[in-house]
Amino acid sequence: MRRLTVLAVALCLTAFMPVWAQAQTTPAASAPAPDGRFVVFFQEWSAALDAPAQAVIATAAKAALADPKASVLVSGTADPIGSARANELVSALRAQMVTDALIAAGVPAERISQRALGATEYALNALESRRASIAISAK
């Protein structure tokens, strides 16, 4: 009986492994929050903007362009793995990549400020820390 239970658990894990593995390795984009905040996620040690990231940035740019007086703050972060200096650099690069994409989408550069926050802790998954946040606030 114990062998059947172990076999059943193993089969269940195998059946759901592709979904679980994809959730662990594929960055996801978040929907905009009602308060004008958007989040772009990144792969480990990367600042590349994939399709979901570009979609979030396009939505944020539309929101920023809808209010010509709104200011935009882009904050880059990294997971706590690696040296403090490396995490500062990757978080700065993430913020810069998102800023550049917002500018390319038509948001005036003088309305955008950015900051690199370095490593941040996460609750469930390191992906939570590998992000750039876009905050749009009316003046």
Average pLDDT rounded to a whole number, residues 36-50: 96
* 11-41 confidence digits (pLDDT tens): 333 333 332 333 334 444 444 455 799 999 9
Q: Domains of the chain by range and CATH? A: 27-137 (3.30.1330.60)
Average pLDDT rounded to a whole number, residues 63-69: 95
What is this structure's pTM? 0.76
More confident residue, 4 or 94: 94
Give one DSSP letter per residue of the chain, joined into a string: -HHHHHHHHHHHHHHHHHHHHHHHHS--PPPPPTTSEEEEE--TT-----HHHHHHHHHHHHHHHHSTT-EEEEEEEE-SSS-HHHHHHHHHHHHHHHHHHHHHTT--GGGEEEEEEEE---SS-GGGTSEEEEEEE--
Q: Average pLDDT over the chain, rounded to whole?
A: 82
